[in-house]
Amino acid sequence: MKLFSLVLFLAFLLGTSAEQCGSQAGGAVCPNGICCSQYGWCGNTAVYCGAGCQSQCSGGGTPSTPSPTPTGSDVSSLISASLFEELLKHRNDQGCSNGFYTYNAFIAAAQSFNGFGTTGDDTTRKRELAAFLAQTSHETTGGWPSAPDGPYAWGYCFITENNKETYCTPSTDWPCASSNYNYGPAGTAINSDLLNNPDLVATDPTISFKTALWFWMTPQANKPSSHDVIIGKWTPSAADTSAGRVSGLWCHHQHYQWWARMWHWRR
């Protein structure tokens, strides 16, 4: 149960490392009108909406993956197999994933999420693709500052987390499992039983990409999806504005690491 893909490591960790709403999260409310439990977690079952519920206790439905009308062609028109190989040239090294992360698996997963890399004009579509690949490459990188071809050419190197820990969220919906908060809803969304077969994330490359894309496309707790931010769909609330959260990379702050990663993918 501890085995999980590094593509999902940051995403799953963010979903389980801190409470999401209520007094435990500075008064934040859950997205889409769903309940905030007495313990500060978002959901729409009796566990969340019943005794001790802090806000929106009538529930509003489980956060769902947005399905905007695509305005562009397939993601494969933005990144060819040869460009994928060039940008991720070390992912197949013997010391890395050795062939796990394939171009075909990425394209198949991307095609299953309506709107990913196909929403907006060409600049917006390319920006979303670059941001996704930059983030997931960073979470799976095997590079170092003096690595051949630079540190950002070593994305998609690792498959599993090197320093595994057990992350457990109390929930009757998603029984205690490594990063169960996301394995449950992600598995439901992509029609794969990840609670009983969590190793699929690290053994099936298409499922690995699908889970990463699910997190990218799906609003969670008190934060919008990366997809909505990138395409300009998300509008900061009054609470977001007062807290300094606005659209843009790194909450609109300039950060050299983000720009360095993004520059590698702006070709």
Catalytic residue chosen out of the listed positions 19, 128, 139, 161 = 139
**Does residue 203 share a domain with residue 118?**
yes
**Does residue 219 share a domain with residue 88?**
yes
Domain assignment of residue 136, yes or no:
yes
8 A C-beta contact, residue 51 and residue 230: no
- Over range 106-121, report the average pLDDT: 94
**Does residue 224 share a domain with residue 102?**
yes
The most confident of the ranges 4-18, 46-60, 167-181 is 46-60
Domain assignment of residue 8, yes or no:
no
Alpha-carbon span 85 to 11, nearest angstrom = 25
**Does residue 87 share a domain with residue 42?**
no
Confidence of residue 9 (pLDDT cuts 50, 70, 90): very low
Q: What are the E-state strand segments in the chain?
A: 35-36, 42-43
Q: What are the E-state strand segments in 139-219?
A: none
CA-nearest of 255, 109, 256 to 192 is 109
Name the pairing type of β-strands 35-36 and 42-43: antiparallel
> Tens of pLDDT along 123-179?
999 999 999 998 888 888 877 888 888 887 888 888 877 665 555 555 666 555 444
Residue 36 φ/ψ, nearest 5 degrees: -110, 115
**Does residue 131 share a domain with residue 41?**
no
Count structural domains, the chain.
2
pTM equals: 0.67
Alpha-carbon span 234 to 155, nearest angstrom = 28
- CATH number reported for the structural domain that contains residue 28 in this entry: 3.30.60.10
Q: What is the pLDDT of residue 238?
A: 77
**Does residue 225 share a domain with residue 186?**
yes
**Does residue 87 share a domain with residue 194?**
yes
Residue 31, domain extent: 18-61
Residue where a domain stops, chosen among 61, 90, 112: 61
Domain assignment of residue 97, yes or no:
yes
Domain assignment of residue 41, yes or no:
yes
Alpha-carbon span 56 to 27, nearest angstrom = 12
**Does residue 258 share a domain with residue 208?**
yes
Amino acid letter for position 191: N
To the query of whether residue 86 is one of the catalytic residues in this protein, the response is no
The conformational region for residue 161 under phi > 0 = left, psi -120 to 50 = alpha, else beta, is beta
- CATH number reported for the structural domain that contains residue 118 in this entry: 1.10.530.10
